[in-house]
Chain A
């Protein structure tokens, strides 16, 4: 109604708004209400209230001089069930949707096939004892059955002009897969689906715990699902990407190739090729606002093979489209009793080789597209770098500048 204020509801129609607020509460817990400039104050209050409702005690508040902060606070090692999945169980529905759902599932439970007319008659019998029984016509029911068919809950069979519906029978005993479902619910990028399956089972004893576990990517699940569908079905996709730098959205037509998942930085990326120029591109999944699935792409396999060759020279997610690599060599001091450092070097290098130079020196050698991406990793060897040589002089300069700044900050005399 015009001018009427829509009543607050715990449930939501789509996930877009809550996704961005959850991200902000999780990552930027220090922001005050006034800093959420994207939406109105009412929108902020409603989304905060919803998130608090979904996550309970995990939502904390802190009063600072600048205002009140809302943040999601948790200690990763103690979290064995991703609490953010709860937010996906908040889809709104109508009174008729829920009534129809339980009655239709009950009718179909006998395994027999029903026409819409049969179903309507049965439904009326279920409802007659209520004070003002709801009334369902065949058209409403047809839409619902179509939706359930798409969801895979029912199948239809057509004989002549008559369509009959029956329930899909599960041969799978979920209980037998409990441990696998538990593990992948936490570890799979679409783990929220596992949590839906877990909701069908009684809680049981658990032995799995998780370390270095980035749970926050759960709020990107809908985007990840579309991206993976594009990859699996080898289709073009159109993504709407938000650039924090320009604060603008832009659409890109791309050929999706891989989902790059970071286990150390918490960021996930879509690696793809531009649909027109075939340049290799990477997009942060959390910056993608929308994905539209397009047509299958004819030359997909060839493009993928080409990308896989390139990927051997990518340190992170950057690939030079001129395909030129930069050479880097780093000599590391490793004492004879420090085998664990050799192991560290070998397991952490993502490309290239490690070779022994002398009794106390090991050399890491690689050719990568963007050596600058390696700087954070190279810094972790401070205290051991005997020499570093790189085609990109900025890398060496950056490291040396950093070191001098650190020495000044920590009052280390040269």
Chain B
């Protein structure tokens, strides 16, 4: 059962309080801190009175507890089965998982039970030893804040070598690809993990305070007519973008959406997929690119 109180944040918060009480270090301030950090916005109005009023008989008025050991709980069957399930996924090789004692555990499902039906087919080669090794070296460099010398093939199929500051690894569900995000002085260098030929972690460190500064955001504004469930399709497709939706009329809406400049072509293609149900208002440059494609297509279809 996935929805169960033993996984709940009230139980987690109380476990932390008992742990401190076992050590004799619990006080009212710490109780509030734990609730603020581990539970919900209004939990303090329930958890703290319930303990103080002895509705939950776990901590007394002097912040003492009859519990002897710091609370621990074994993994549930669901958690064990989930772990076993992820071990069957080919991507797990990237994370050096080595779970022993799981032989008799039944997975929740098999990888082939899931079909990512619109995922691009040129995903990363998770079964390739060199790919996995490169991934591990990059992770090590990120953890140790070391520069990395990366030899890779660029989009024009040319080999390049760069010394970079790897900070994060980004996974894209749609592409089924990992990308290394490297911090530069002003912008980010992104290298597809699958294009890396060789990577060497260098001795030279980079600052631990260095962070990724994503480029400029642009605002896309478009109107849509809600026919054939366009509204729902648009809002679900763009669910991972920050946006605002305004109703203009019975079945017309305006959507304002922020996107990263490096995603411009992708955003244009996605807008095009909705055809005439969506009309782009801004930005002007992107709108012009869309007009250009329409014009070219009109010519190709030879409409007269």
Contact = CB atoms under 8 A, between A and B. Distances in A.
A317 interface: yes
A15 B3 contact: yes
Contacts of B214: 77
Nearest to A89: B9
A183 B90 CA distance: 13
B169 interface: yes
B92 interface: yes
Contacts of A311: 115
A218 to B, nearest CB: 11
Interface in A196-213: 196-197, 199-200, 205, 207-213
A264 B237 contact: yes
Contacts of B118: 262-265, 316, 350
Interface in B240-297: 240-247, 253, 258, 260, 269-270, 272-276, 279, 287, 290-297
Contact of A333 (B3, B175, B273, B300): B300
Given A105-B71, A260-B117, A192 B300 contact: no
Interface string A59-80: 0001010100000011111000
A91 B8 contact: yes
Contact of A74 (B233, B242, B301): B242
B207 interface: no
Interface string A334-372: 000001100100111110000000000000000000000
A333 B143 CA distance: 46
Contacts of B171: 183, 187, 208-211
Given A98-B56, A102-B15, A153-B74, A193 B79 contact: yes
A296 interface: no
A174 B60 CA distance: 32
Nearest to B98: A176
Nearest to A212: B174
A215 B236 CA distance: 11
A134 B54 CA distance: 10
A389 to B, nearest CB: 13
A190 B2 contact: yes
A262 B94 CA distance: 24
28 contacts: A11-B46, A27-B232, A27-B239, A30-B245, A75-B240, A93-B5, A98-B14, A103-B58, A127-B66, A132-B54, A151-B78, A152-B76, A167-B74, A176-B99, A181-B86, A194-B82, A207-B139, A208-B170, A215-B239, A228-B108, A232-B109, A261-B115, A262-B117, A263-B119, A263-B176, A266-B239, A267-B236, A383-B297
Given A95-B50, A264-B237, A411-B291, 16 more contacts: A15-B3, A27-B232, A54-B41, A99-B56, A127-B66, A172-B102, A174-B75, A187-B173, A210-B171, A264-B270, A265-B233, A266-B236, A343-B122, A403-B294, A403-B297, A406-B275
